[in-house]
């Protein structure tokens, strides 16, 4: 009887691991930077449904696929959405001045963004480790990168990604040219499912917008204690920047009703799409996370 109990317990404990879907695939090929080849071994694929920007003036593609080819494995949190391999970062500050280093900061690799059925990408990125943690973005609207032989079957995407001839990075410092070729097969992931899309009064009366309004009012007053209470744990340290706190005093709280166009909730994260028309058009996604039941902002 005792053996049976322990055997049953072992099955229960093992079940979550067995049920967990794989997220990493394999790549075979290399990235050559200034003549030095670097083996690409890992592949990650994420299908994106860009409901956040749908219908807006500067909306990106509604549906796309992000492919990350890397020389080292990445944690699931880094390759969970359209911002892979920096999915774990939810604000410009985290992208440009991360508080801590992660595996994504050590990666050599390539990121490609494709529309369904197209071989030439919407965007391409060369990833290299650097002290400033900023990946080189390939400039221009015409990308020489190609993805050929695309095949989807049983939840996997197989393909070959190529940049056949050396291409300039456009960087003033660091590597000058690169090329790559890699075949890969990876399970197709999707972003966290949408659990709510709010517009109009529903958006303005939502908890994420209420948190944004409170944050704006606290910023206008320069109330750092209130700002800390409304800020996600990952972003509290940025409030030590006095210049940033000072900029919050110019927050136009009264314009929130006209500028908030949509709130998209995906589980414990939310995106408030803020659109400014005058003097120049801009659209800004403000991300929030739910911590202990309360929505907290990921700013700056």
Concatenating the DSSP letter of every residue in 169-190 gives ---SSS--EEEEEEEEEEEEEE
Q: What is the pLDDT of residue 100?
A: 80
The helix/strand/coil state of 181 is: strand
Residue 274: beta bridge partners? Answer: 260, 284
> Which two tokens mark 97?
């001045």
> Which two tokens mark 124?
């391409």
Q: What is the pLDDT of residue 170?
A: 79
Residue spans of the domains in the chain: they are: 22-190, 196-297
- CATH 3.10.450 matches 196-297: yes
237: nearest Cα among 228, 246, 229, 225: 228
Q: What is the pLDDT of residue 135?
A: 46
Q: How far apart are CA 6 and CA 246, in angstroms?
A: 60
- The one-digit pLDDT tens for each residue of the chain (300 residues) are 333 433 343 333 344 444 567 899 999 999 999 999 999 999 999 999 999 999 999 999 999 999 999 999 999 999 999 999 999 999 988 888 888 888 889 999 999 999 988 888 988 999 998 744 344 444 445 678 999 998 999 999 999 999 999 988 877 888 899 999 999 999 999 999 999 999 999 999 999 999 999 999 999 999 999 999 999 999 999 999 999 999 999 999 999 999 999 999 999 999 999 999 988 999 999 999 999 999 999 999
135: nearest Cα among 120, 123, 119: 123
The reported pTM is: 0.86
**CA 60, 65, 70: angle at the middle one, nearest 5?**
120
């Amino acid at each position: 009887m005792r053996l049976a109990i322990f055997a049953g317990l072992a099955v229960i404990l093992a079940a979550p691991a067995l049920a967990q879907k794989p997220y990493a695939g394999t790549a075979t090929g290399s990235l050559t930077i200034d003549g030095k080849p670097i083996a690409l071994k890992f592949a990650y694929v994420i299908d994106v449904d860009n409901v956040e920007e749908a219908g807006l003036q500067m909306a990106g593609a509604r549906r796309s696929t992000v492919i990350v080819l890397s020389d080292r494995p990445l944690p699931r949190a880094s390759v969970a959405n359209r911002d892979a391999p920096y999915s774990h970062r939810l604000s410009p500050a985290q992208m440009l001045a991360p508080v801590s280093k992660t595996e994504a900061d050590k990666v050599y690799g390539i990121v490609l963004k494709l529309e369904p059925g197209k071989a030439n990408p919407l965007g391409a990125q060369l990833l290299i480790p650097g002290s400033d943690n900023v990946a080189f973005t390939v400039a221009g609207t015409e990308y020489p990168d190609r993805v050929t032989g695309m095949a989807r079957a049983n939840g996997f995407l197989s393909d070959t990604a190529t940049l056949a001839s050396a291409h300039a990075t456009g960087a003033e410092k660091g590597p000058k040219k690169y090329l790559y070729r890699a075949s890969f097969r990876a399970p197709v992931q999707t972003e966290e499912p949408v659990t709510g899309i709010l517009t109009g009064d529903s958006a303005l009366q939502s908890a994420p917008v209420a948190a944004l309004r409170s944050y704006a009012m606290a910023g206008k007053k320069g109330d750092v204690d209130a700002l800390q209470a409304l800020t996600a744990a990952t972003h509290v340290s940025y409030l030590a920047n006095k210049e940033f706190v000072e900029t919050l005093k110019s927050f136009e709280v009264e314009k929130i009703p006209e500028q908030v166009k949509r709130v998209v909730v995906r589980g414990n994260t939310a995106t408030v799409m803020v659109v400014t028309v005058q003097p120049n058009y801009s659209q800004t996604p403000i991300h929030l996370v739910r911590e202990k039941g309360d929505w907290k902002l990921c700013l700056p």
